[in-house]
Amino acid sequence: MDLGYAWRMEKTSGKTGAAPALADCQSQPDARQLRIDKVGVRGLLHPIEVRDKRHTTQDTVARISLLVDLPKDFKGTHMSRFVEVLNAHGRLVHVENLPDMLHELQRKLDAQVAHIEVEFPYFMEKEAPVTKAKGLVDYQVKFDAAAHGKEVAFTVTVTIPVTTLCPCSKAISAYGAHNQRGYVTLAIRSVRAIWIEDMIAMVEESASSEIYSLLKRPDEKFVTERAYDNPVFVEDLVRNVALRCNRNPDITWYKVEAENMESIHNHSAYACIEKTVAG
Calpha distance 203→174 (Å, rounded): 30
Task: Give residues with Cβ within 8 angstroms of 245, minimum separation 6.
Answer: 186, 188, 202, 251, 254, 256, 275, 277
Would you say residue 169 has pLDDT above 90? Answer: yes
Q: How much is the pLDDT for 22?
A: 65
Is residue 87 in some structural domain? Answer: yes
Q: How much is the pLDDT for 33?
A: 75
Is residue 98 in some structural domain? Answer: yes
pLDDT over 70 for what percent of the chain? 89
Q: What one-character-per-residue DSSP string does the chain give?
A: --HHHHHHHHHHSS--SPPPPPP-GGGSB-TT---EEEEEEEEEEEEEEEEETTTEEEEEEEEEEEEEEE-TTBS---HHHHHHHHHTT-SSEEGGGHHHHHHHHHHHTT-SEEEEEEEEEEEEEEE-TTT--EEEEEEEEEEEEEEETTEEEEEEEEEEEEEEE-HHHHHH-SS---EEEEEEEEEEEESS---HHHHHHHHHTTSSEE--S---HHHHHHHHHHHHHS---HHHHHHHHHHHHHT-TTEEEEEEEEEEE-SSSSSEEEEEEEEEPP-
Calpha distance 229→93 (Å, rounded): 44
Average pLDDT over the chain, rounded to whole? 90
Question: Which structural domain, as residue segments, surrounds residue 216?
Answer: 32-276
Is residue 185 in some structural domain? Answer: yes
Q: What angle in degrees, to the nearest 10, is found between the helix axes of 79-87 and 98-108?
A: 150
Is residue 6 in some structural domain? Answer: no
Band of pLDDT at residue 2, cut at 50, 70 and 90: very low
For residue 5, count other CB atoms closer than 10 A to its CB. 9
Is residue 124 in some structural domain? Answer: yes
CATH of the domain at 223: 3.10.270.10
Calpha distance 229→269 (Å, rounded): 21
Is residue 218 in some structural domain? Answer: yes
pTM, whole model, 2 decimals? 0.86
Is residue 207 in some structural domain? Answer: yes
Domain tally, the chain: 1
Lowest mean pLDDT among 89-98, 113-122, 159-168, 176-185: 89-98
Is residue 64 in some structural domain? Answer: yes
Taking only the tens place, the pLDDT of each residue in 104-137 is: 999 999 899 999 999 999 999 999 999 999 999 9
Closest CA relative to residue 78, chosen from 38, 27, 37, 29:
27
Taking only the tens place, the pLDDT of each residue in 241-253 is: 999 999 999 999 9
